[in-house]
Structure 1
Amino acid sequence: MLKHLSQLPLFLHMVAISGLMMFLPALMASLQHDDFVARMFFYSGTLVIFLSTLVAMAISGTRPAPRTIDHLLALFCAFTVLPLVLAMPFFEALETTSFVNAYFEMVSCLTTTGATVFSQAERLPPALHFWRGIVGWMGGLMMWLAASAVFAPLSLGGFEVTARGEPGKLDMTGGQMQRAAPMKRWIKGAKLLVPVYAGLTLAIWMLLMIFGDKPLSGLMHAMSTMATSGISSVDGIQNGGAGLAGEGVIFLFLLFALSRMTFSVDTGAVRRESLILDPEFRLGLLLVALVPTILFLRHWVGAIDVNESSDALAALRAAWGGMFTVLSFLTTTGFESAEWHVARDWSGLSSPGLMLMGLALVGGGVATTAGGVKLLRVFALYLQGLGEMERLVHPSVVIGNRGGGTGRIRRRGALIAWVFFMLFAISIAAVTVLLTALGSDFEQAMVLAIATLTTTGPITQVAAEVPINLLVLSGWEKLVLCGAMVLGRMETLAIIALLSPDFWHK
């Protein structure tokens, strides 16, 4: 039975799983006596499972064994077509929105972007908030599994910086995980990572409720932390009941988005004897320490001018607010600390939105749920720059391997990292131009482009002078943003790989 199911297309599995997940908000709405919402989710889930079963019966035994490129295409369909299925119960249950808004919401959740057209949380029933959280959580889990099942074997998603093979080409020189059949990689990855992912989510939820968060908001924040989606049912963790203790819990678990080595080494990435030697984790910790320090000194100088520098408690609160918010935006989660605005009140200076956009552009670790350029690519560019500076002093110097695979990163990975960085910059420019052509002003278009391409939706509420109301955007603008979110989640090199003719020969 399991062997028969494993031969079905991956996308069909994803559709069927989404149908099963619809019964969870249906059960929640039923327990809250919201019978209409419960029926919409129950009917939608039943319909999706029924149609998936019919398709599975129709194509059973008629398709050849899937290739890894087929699973890359399935991922693309998951981020573009699957939200149409996910939006169906959302649209039917809410009734007061358009299907384009529902589709935008589901794309945003599934890509772990977290941008929402519903700026007021009370507009949505609890079951719809729960559905948004589930979709975001499943999107994060899908990226965890895809890292080892698709991106690592094809040397994409950041693995191209350290892989021996060419980006987009199947690397058969890797470990056992890379040489296994495509569906076996998904099954093995699920067995290894689903318990870890679910267990960590449960741990965060329990701790947040212990510290005073309500069950629904605590669960939403727990799922958003693991998926780095920033989705909340109360407009942010600052409105939750867990307080600073809850922020401390989320801070610790956000560290999982700085490096794959915090939870798994199954992808064949650069290995280290310990986590502290991992370049991504070290670079992430450096930014989390350095940027808040600069912010703190800036605000401290401002506090001197207003004679508030002696307020030690406000200084500590400002320092914590900066550290938490920096880590949150670096991992492209987008949660704001409740103390983030204390720094502004303490010194009278505003907090720079440009800095938050810069952190989101850097992004988190390779093969995690974080978006952005990724820390490993930044590290590769740093090594290349270091080598070029050494050549300025000694033009004939031969730079050897510094250990830990850094020589390979500098010689070959830096070029690929630079190519990706340029493609990322071109994508930002293209999305900005499209949005301005559709009616947005330049500042708003730039913020929206960075927010979607880095999958950091909350940037739209903090980076511009005034929060951007996504609801008033036209339908075409929302569709452009949907495309940008998919591009940011899949990454440009993966999209180019799908367009390459070399991948479509049998």
Structure 2
Amino acid sequence: MQRVQQTQVGLLRRLPLFLLIWGFVSLSMWVPAGYALYLDDHPVSRSFFYSGILGLFGVSMIAIAVSGHTPKRGALGQLLVLLATFAVLPVFLAIPFHDALQTTSFLNAYFDMVSAITTTGADIFNDPSRLAAPLHLWRAQVGWLGGLMMWIAASAILAPLSLGGFEVTARGQPGRTVPGFNQAELSDPRGRLIRITRTLAPIYAGLTAAMAILLVVAGEQGLTAICHAMSVMATSGISPVGGIDGSTAGLTGEAILFLFMFFALSRLTFSADTANQGYARLDKDPEFRIGLMIVIGVPILLFLRHWLAAYDVDMLGDPLLALRSLWGGMFTVLSFLTTTGFESTDWEEARAWSGLGTPGLILMGLALIGGGVATTAGGVKLLRVFALYLNGLREIERLVHPSSVSGEGIGNRRIQKDGAFIAWIFFMLFALSLASVAVLLAALGSSFEEALVLSIAALSTTGPLINFAAETPIRIAELGGASKIVLCFAMVLGRLETLAIIALLTPSLWRN
């Protein structure tokens, strides 16, 4: 038995990584195919079943053609595969979706698949009833697979290269392997990838299954429970009922989603595989502590604003309304901080209580901050915010005492100096990317407000911002083809981050 497993692992190591991912998503197409068959929706079932067979056939033929000639490009090669997965693979993912829907263009289907696999969740179809139930399942499933890939890629690809937020704490330069990693694994990156996949995939699937079961027990419909569980774990915000408003689980369902969103604040909530480059205890992890501070602090400020700027005598004596507004603020703040994008049913109460007419700026700010490093959340990441905070604190100390020595520990001193410098570079690159995408969208016909909201939503991978941040919801389907292509590029850029794209320009990757 052990010899058979070793043979299977050897075959997996010889196949190109992109072919393995392509083959896996081809097999996953049979899930919505089986669900459509159960619903007696045979046209949709055939679209996914035949597309899965077509994908497996293509993978088999290419695998035979390239057998014995697999290029060895190390971790940078795997990073290139990750880029191809987010930019090229959605062309194949859109085939059954387009064929089953038959009422949209292929560009719209491609946009939706890019949005799903990058865990952005930008909804191009504003009416959920337009899509059949298997198509909703497919969208949530693609987003869930995209989140799983980021979980695995974080420690298997990005951490050894000091990318994805690891550059703040690592001793190596971004885009180059870190000396502190196991050198045997660095020489065999495929083996490291397989080992981490075996470790993290069961955890990811188990947490999703547990959340779905809890939602069903709370009274949620089966499909909605599965899709919402997948969307929270992947922070994609994809929903078959248009969000939390269409949920039947009520406050209990929101509480369940709220608890599982904490997995996007810090990687230490589910794995310590990268703790040697950070903090080994969750209560000492700066990302988790900053996340808690924001989740508690922002709703309290909105709650207190009721007496500061929007005093209302009638609402003053209603404690239940006060608690609902506080809960709505906490849920929505955590949801957008983790770039999930679900809005609480009590968020309107929180807005009315605080007298906040246009909360879009707050939601965009939360999405820009983002969640934890090496999680499925997007945005700038909490660790980079912490690095700049430490650096700013140190600069204030030096203004008062120019000859003082930092009282931080060894790890924090490194973050305070070198880590903050790299974090500041990332901030500048992120700002330049945001400005460039916004200018392109404005040049293609969008207004300033629309261009800004769309740019932040794409680069922070928080698609629901397009419905909640602007004064009126933005309809992506009404944008031109060029604008949709720009948004696809921005979503891929936001998922991989600018430093990773720059690392792919190294000459050693493209030599031979």
Q: Shift of residue 301 of structure 1?
A: 3.8
1:190 matched to 2:220? The reply is no
* Contact kept? 1:145, 1:189, Cα under 8 Å: yes
Alignment of 1:252-291 (within 5 A): 252-268=259-275, 270-291=277-298
* Contact kept? 2:437, 2:486, Cα under 8 Å: yes
1:88-147 deviations in Å (ceiling 9; x for gaps): 000000000000000000000000000011001000000000000110000000000000
1:423 matched to 2:429? The reply is yes
Q: Report the equivalent of 1:472.
A: 478
Q: Distance in 1 between matches of 2:136 and 2:276?
A: 36
Match of 1:147 among 142, 148, 154: 154
Alignment of 1:189-228 (within 5 A): 189-228=196-235
Q: Shift of residue 350 of structure 1?
A: 1.9
Q: Shift of residue 24 of structure 1?
A: 0.4
* Contact kept? 2:23, 2:59, Cα under 8 Å: yes
Q: Report the equivalent of 2:464.
A: 458
Q: Shift of residue 474 of structure 1?
A: 0.7
Q: Distance in 2 between matches of 1:152 and 1:384?
A: 23
Q: Unpaired segments of 5 or more residues in structure 1? A: none
Q: Distance in 2 between matches of 1:70 and 1:41?
A: 30
1:319 matched to 2:326? The reply is yes
Q: Report the equivalent of 1:168.
A: 175
Describe the shift of the 1:239–1:299 C-alpha distance in structure 2 as closer, same or farther (beyond 3 A): farther
* Contact kept? 1:162, 1:408, Cα under 8 Å: yes
Match of 1:488 among 489, 494, 504: 494
Q: Shift of residue 170 of structure 1?
A: 1.2
Q: Unpaired segments of 5 or more residues in structure 2? A: 1-6
Q: Shift of residue 163 of structure 1?
A: 0.5
Alignment of 1:241-260 (within 5 A): 241-260=248-267
Q: Report the equivalent of 2:12.
A: 5
Q: Report the equivalent of 1:46.
A: 53
1:432 matched to 2:432? The reply is no
Q: Distance in 1 between matches of 2:440 and 2:231?
A: 30
Q: Distance in 1 between matches of 2:12 and 2:505?
A: 29
* Contact kept? 2:304, 2:354, Cα under 8 Å: no
Task: Indicate the larger mover: 259-268 or 409-418.
Answer: 259-268
Q: Distance in 2 between matches of 1:345 and 1:127?
A: 37
Describe the shift of the 1:348–1:24 C-alpha distance in structure 2 as closer, same or farther (beyond 3 A): same
1:497 matched to 2:480? The reply is no
1:104 matched to 2:93? The reply is no
Q: Report the equivalent of 2:346.
A: 339
Q: Report the equivalent of 2:3.
A: none
Q: Shift of residue 273 of structure 1?
A: 4.5
Q: Secondary structure of 1:307's partner?
A: helix
1:447 matched to 2:453? The reply is yes
What amino acid does structure 1 have at the position aligned with 2:11? H
Q: Distance in 2 between matches of 1:465 and 1:101?
A: 24
Describe the shift of the 1:269–1:289 C-alpha distance in structure 2 as closer, same or farther (beyond 3 A): farther
Q: Secondary structure of 2:314's partner?
A: coil
* Contact kept? 1:159, 1:269, Cα under 8 Å: no
What amino acid does structure 1 have at the position aligned with 2:286? P
Alignment of 1:30-69 (within 5 A): 30-69=37-76
* Contact kept? 1:133, 1:231, Cα under 8 Å: yes
Q: Shift of residue 8 of structure 1?
A: 1.1
Q: Distance in 2 between matches of 1:505 and 1:414?
A: 33
Q: Report the equivalent of 1:407.
A: 413
1:382 matched to 2:389? The reply is yes
Q: Shift of residue 404 of structure 1?
A: 6.4
1:186-221 deviations in Å (ceiling 9; x for gaps): 111111101100000001000001111000000000
Q: Shift of residue 502 of structure 1?
A: 4.3
Q: Distance in 2 between matches of 1:10 and 1:256?
A: 27
Match of 1:89 among 85, 88, 96: 96
Q: Shift of residue 176 of structure 1?
A: 6.6
* Contact kept? 2:361, 2:469, Cα under 8 Å: yes
Q: Distance in 2 between matches of 1:67 and 1:340?
A: 47
* Contact kept? 1:7, 1:65, Cα under 8 Å: no
Q: How many residues get paired?
A: 505
Q: Shift of residue 180 of structure 1?
A: 5.5
* Contact kept? 2:367, 2:379, Cα under 8 Å: yes
What amino acid does structure 1 have at the position aligned with 2:331? F
* Contact kept? 2:51, 2:95, Cα under 8 Å: yes
1:423-473 deviations in Å (ceiling 9; x for gaps): 000111000000000000000000000000000000000111001111101
Describe the shift of the 1:469–1:348 C-alpha distance in structure 2 as closer, same or farther (beyond 3 A): same
Relative to the length of structure 1, the TM-score reads: 0.97
Match of 2:373 among 366, 369, 378: 366
What amino acid does structure 2 have at the position aligned with 1:14? I
* Contact kept? 1:303, 1:348, Cα under 8 Å: yes
Q: Secondary structure of 2:236's partner?
A: coil
Q: Secondary structure of 1:460's partner?
A: helix
Q: Report the equivalent of 2:4.
A: none
Q: Secondary structure of 1:304's partner?
A: coil
Provide runs of 4+ in structure 1 moved above 6 Å.
Answer: none
* Contact kept? 1:83, 1:103, Cα under 8 Å: yes
1:274-322 deviations in Å (ceiling 9; x for gaps): 2110010001001111111111111344552453211111110000000
* Contact kept? 1:87, 1:99, Cα under 8 Å: yes
Identity of aligned residues (%): 59
Q: Secondary structure of 1:40's partner?
A: helix
Relative to the length of structure 2, the TM-score reads: 0.96
1:72-102 deviations in Å (ceiling 9; x for gaps): 0000000000000100000000000000000
Q: Distance in 2 between matches of 1:69 and 1:335?
A: 35
Q: Secondary structure of 1:230's partner?
A: coil
What amino acid does structure 2 have at the position aligned with 1:407? R
Q: Distance in 2 between matches of 1:15 and 1:66?
A: 19
* Contact kept? 1:148, 1:177, Cα under 8 Å: no
Describe the shift of the 1:404–1:241 C-alpha distance in structure 2 as closer, same or farther (beyond 3 A): farther
What amino acid does structure 2 have at the position aligned with 1:362? I
What amino acid does structure 1 have at the position aligned with 2:490? A
Q: Secondary structure of 2:347's partner?
A: coil
Q: Report the equivalent of 1:307.
A: 314
1:240 matched to 2:210? The reply is no
Q: Shift of residue 349 of structure 1?
A: 3.7
Q: Secondary structure of 1:65's partner?
A: coil
